[in-house]
Amino acid sequence: EPEVTQTPSHQVTQMGQEVILRCVPISNHLYFYWYRQILGQKVEFLVSFYNNEISEKSEIFDDQFSVERPDGSNFTLKIRSTKLEDSAMYFCASSRDGSYEQYFGPGTRLTVT
């Protein structure tokens, strides 16, 4: 059964550094998403991406964040200058089209020190 994959599973970085989180969505899916879950808090939506552009973003997704689909298979989330409060589990998801359910990857745990 096809699944969403994410790398790395755990990333440790120092405050102020740039990080790139990588995702490989399910191959015939067209919509892609990033969510995050700070420890002890709800899973929160960050951004959705369709047809090579952002279709929706939350108030969390500020200028420090960017997304890209650099090729036909990867979907990346970049944080330009990490802050302590960016420490969280980051989930990638994909959907066949926007009206179907979203399938989630296992997450990348980002720790900012």
Footprint on this chain of another protein (rule: CB under 8 A): 3-4, 33, 35, 41-45, 48, 56, 58, 91, 93, 95, 98-107
3-class state of residue 43 by DSSP: strand
Q: Which residue number, 14 or 99, has a Cβ lying nearer to another protein? A: 99
Closest CA relative to residue 95, chosen from 104, 86, 83, 87: 104
**Nearest distance from residue 17's CB to another protein, in Å?**
25
**What CA–CA distance (Å, rounded) separates 90 from 86?**
10
**Nearest distance from residue 59's CB to another protein, in Å?**
12
Furthest-apart CA atoms within the chain: distance in Å: 39
**Nearest distance from residue 81's CB to another protein, in Å?**
25
